[in-house]
Amino acid sequence: MPFWRSEEREARSAEEWNRQLLAEEEAQRKRAAEEFDASPVGRARAAYDDELEMYQFSLPLDTVTAVPVARADDGVVHYAADVSDVLDSVVREGWELHSFSTVFALRTASLAGGETRRADVSGDLVATYVFVREETSHAPLQVPAGST
């Protein structure tokens, strides 16, 4: 086999690898954008852009660190460290906290027999936040590409 055919095959292989890598990066950016858009902060941005007067969301408080609060220019999603990060990010989107409530959402309950008659209960503490539109606080968090 002539040596140039081997080089051509290697070049095609490298080009295919680059195309595949670029496609994977684009798919990752798209997933990150969808994840942010579905988050309370992403929905707050959309509600503000739709000129709504009120915005409400509920959040299980044990999963708050899985909530995206910002997305960098390069598509990297930044997550909340605690619930105040989520609330601060929503306020930055142009909303003022009006009221909130919490509820224990029961998942399972069972009553053990015997003398103690102990009940085993499991569930989630869920907070519901209501915001009203606040034009003066509209300053969405800008995260530069490459920051962590």
Element (H, E) at 5: helix 3-38
Number of Cα atoms under 13 Å in the Cβ half of residue 145? 4
Say whether 39 sits in a helix, a strand or coil: coil
**What's the Rg (C-alpha) of the chain?**
24
Reported as a single tens digit per residue, the pLDDT across 113-130 is 667 777 788 889 999 999
Residues contacting 98, CB < 8 A, separation 6+: 54, 130, 131, 132
Percent of the chain with pLDDT over 70: 91
Residue 92 predicted with pLDDT over 70:
yes
Q: With cut-offs at 50, 70 and 90, classify the pLDDT of residue 14.
A: confident
pLDDT of residue 2: 58
Place of tokens 């490298």: 14
**Token representation of residue 32:** 């990150």
pLDDT of residue 68: 93
55 exposure class (CB count in 10 Å sphere: 0-12, 13-18, 19+): buried
- For the chain, what is the largest distance between any 2 Cα atoms, rounded to a whole number of angstroms? 88
Which has more pLDDT, 13 or 145?
13
Residue 107 predicted with pLDDT over 70:
yes
Average confidence (pLDDT) over 128-143: 85
d(CA 42, CA 52) in angstroms, rounded, equals 14
How far is C-alpha 34 from the geometric centre of its chain's CA atoms?
Answer: 9
Place of tokens 């929905």: 43
pTM: 0.74
Q: Which of 113, 108, 123, 59 shows the shortest CA–CA distance to 87?
A: 59
Residue 148 predicted with pLDDT over 60:
no
Average pLDDT, the chain: 86
End-to-end CA distance of the chain: 49
